[in-house]
Amino acid sequence: MPPRRRRYESLDVRRPLRAALVKLKAERERIDNQIDGIQRALSVLSGEPQAKKGGPAIRRRTRRPAMSAKTRQALSRRMKAYWAKRKAAAAKEKAKGQAMHRIARAPTND
């Protein structure tokens, strides 16, 4: 005697589901293409640089104006003073920490 089939086994729902999935994927691709076209049109109208497909928008780098020798020299002096001040503050903190360490380790005469 062959095995009994259940009622729902005779209904193959996988085929219609796969067909629906194929249709939905095709519709999603069509919608994605329309969205890309609208985004490209908007970027052209707003003057933004165009992005490669699937990539982020390209942002052009703005060039800084050239610095004169006098300005570079002034900047150099400011930065040297800045780093000297930081180095002195770090040395002061280090000396303070070492002094606290010596005090904590000092033997007590009881």
Residue position matching structure tokens 């933004």? 48
User: Per the domain annotation, does 69 fall within a domain?
Assistant: no
User: Per the domain annotation, does 58 fall within a domain?
Assistant: no
- Type and span of the H or E element at 20: helix 14-46
What's the mean pLDDT in 78-105? 86
User: Per the domain annotation, does 101 fall within a domain?
Assistant: yes
DSSP letter at 94 equals: H
User: Per the domain annotation, does 108 fall within a domain?
Assistant: yes
User: Per the domain annotation, does 59 fall within a domain?
Assistant: no
> Greater confidence, 63 or 59?
63
Tell me which amino acid residue 46 is: S
Task: Round the average pLDDT of the chain to a whole number and report it.
Answer: 82
Confidence of residue 91 (pLDDT cuts 50, 70, 90): very high
Both tokens of 66, joined, read 């050239």
User: Per the domain annotation, does 80 fall within a domain?
Assistant: yes
pLDDT at residue number 5: 63
User: Per the domain annotation, does 71 fall within a domain?
Assistant: no
How far is the C-alpha of 50 from the C-alpha of 7, rounded, in Å?
57
Q: What is the dihedral of CA 62, 67, 71, 75, to 10 degrees?
A: 50
User: Per the domain annotation, does 95 fall within a domain?
Assistant: yes
Confidence of residue 107 (pLDDT cuts 50, 70, 90): low
Residues composing the chain: 110
Q: Which sign, positive or negative, has the C-alpha torsion 49, 55, 59, 61?
A: negative
Residue 91: which domain range?
76-110
What's the mean pLDDT in 39-58? 72
Tell me which amino acid residue 55 is: G
pLDDT at residue number 51: 57
pLDDT at residue number 8: 60
What 3-state class would DSSP assign to 58? coil
**Furthest C-alpha separation in the chain:** 103
In the chain, how many domains are there? 2
